[in-house]
Structure 1
Amino acid sequence: MQAPVETSVNTPANAVQPGHLYVVATPIGNLGDLSPRALAVLGGVDAICAEDTRNSAALLSHFGLRKPLLALHDHNEEQVAAGLVGRLASGESLALVSDAGTPLVSDPGFRLVRAAREAGLPVVALPGPCAAIAALSVSGIASDRFLFVGFLPAKSGQRRAALEDLASEPATLLLYESSHRIAEAATDLAAVLGTRRVCIARELTKLFEQSEVMAAADLPGWIAADANRGKGEFVLVVEGAARREAVAGGADVARILRVLVRELGASQGAKLAAEITGLKKRDLYEMSLTLGGKEEG
């Protein structure tokens, strides 16, 4: 990779240009993580598009900045994007921020960025904090290939179905979860992916930051052991499927095996799954034990 070019916030490399949309990553907790370049751009643009103007006003106030704030969230983005593109086309410079972290990563902004691109307007990234990447970097779980999933469905049945769909994915999974659902989500992870390693990271860069690695089956007990462990904002880094669990012939092995084991037992279920997928019966039998099958003597 090319060596970074060192600049100060006052150099032309950080100057705000007319008609540009700047996508600015902001701290996920520790305000010291706001980059000097981000600070310079937020102070130089004509206005800032914010997911929650109150949160962004507090951030700007901390750094002594006062800028017009324009609300841009899930409920109004479709309606306001065209007007914002019009402002860019007229020569105004705008910044896009979310409540925390990198915009568009489980946050609003996609419609605006796409509209600006379609209008031929420059869109500039100011990289910085991202909870998913921060958690991955400290998890000790494979980082060479990963899939950002974001928030799983709120209802348990839909959540388990989503996890079953992901069970054969070989890439590391990056999930977000809230304090309101972390205990239920942990129970579903344990049921579907019991032997997989999971890094549970909460309150990253904040005062009570914590990250632990364990088998998915141990997550519910770990959370229940201390009321504080269920508080905060969570990232779950989930180990990907082993090779034998991967998709074969377009079939979702975990889903097929789970159904067959439930109806036929571990041994017969694994035998039939082997005929369907072409995988080895012994590998499928071992996998069936992680999916709720009972060992047969």
Structure 2
Amino acid sequence: MRRFSLVSFDGKVALITGAGNGLGKSHALMFAKLGARVVVNDYGTTAKGEGADKSPADAVVDEIKTAGGESVANADSVEHGARLVETAMDAFGRLDIVVNNAGFLRDTSFHKMSQDDWFDIVNVHLNGAFKVNRAAWPHMREQNFGRIVNTASAAGIYGNFGQVNYSSAKLALHGMTQALAIEGQKRNILVNTVAPAAASRLTDTVISREQTAALRPEYVSPLVGYLCSEVSTQTGGLFEAGAGWFGKLRWERSRGIALKGVIAPDDIAKNIDAIAEFSDATHPRNIAEAFAPFGEAMGAAVAAR
């Protein structure tokens, strides 16, 4: 019997993309354990995005059902996002939660990167998330409830060699998160981004077995679960999680400096230390706060005339 939980998904339906292995599988099992009916999506490609295989999704569904949960498999690519949402609606009649987790790597240095290396990554990580979210959005609006988690990466936040394609798509996902969070808030649709540090098929070639043990996907799923729950109030956030550590990131901006009159590149050169100095940093939380310094500079300019 499941113990009482502050976070419960009884009556809720969750769609997890890329749930045949690793993080997605961990998320799917957690949601099912906490009462959700789960759509397990996995196209079944290799770590480089090649081939297709329905068996990973089927295996996770079997595991959920064996444990007494309700689940269905979907083996469509996230590039056909509406099909994933149709699976949820056909099987369970509603959709409350979307976790965009599907993806693969196509690492190569930028000067060797082909157009296929770029577009294949962007089409799955970014466009796939768009298509799934777009198909789910009307249902969430109608029921005045929805939770979406987009999966980013440290490579997207900080950059990484050989991952211009992957880094670009992952950071773009957080841009999607921030705008969707604003649009969804009045309809009780909360949208967040999680950048996980977790062992998976994508990390097998770059970390040791000891690191793998510490970076279990199960150490990330609890954060995803909370953000998708009814008790969460977080939206538009960017969170990192790994090895049992959890944190939230925010934008930081230098105090900057307002220059007057005719401004030349030489003036920037003379003031670059003040422009780039973070000792007295600000932390704008929204577009209005971000524009405040421009407004102050405009007011000062007008007053000086």
Same fold (TM over 0.5): no
TM normalised by structure 2 equals 0.34
Larger radius of gyration between Structure 1 and Structure 2: 1
TM normalised by structure 1 equals 0.35
